[in-house]
Amino acid sequence: MGEVIIKGLSELNHAARLFIGQAGGDRVFAFYGRMGAGKTTFIKAICSELGVLDNTSSPTYSLVNEYRTKEGFRIFHFDFYRIKGESEASDLGFEEYVDSGAWCFIEWPERVISLLPADFRKVTIEELGTERRISFNP
**Residue 62 domain boundaries:** 2-137
pTM (predicted TM-score): 0.93
Angle between helices 39-49 and 12-23 (to 10 degrees): 70
Torsion of CA 138, 123, 132, 12, to 10 degrees: 100
pLDDT in tens, 64-108: 999 999 999 999 999 999 998 999 999 999 999 999 999 999 999
Half-sphere exposure for 135 (CA within 13 Å, toward CB): 9
Question: What is the model's pLDDT at position 1?
Answer: 58
Specify the CATH number for the domain of residue 14.
3.40.50.300
- Mean pLDDT value across the chain: 92
For the chain, how many structural domains are there in total?
A: 1
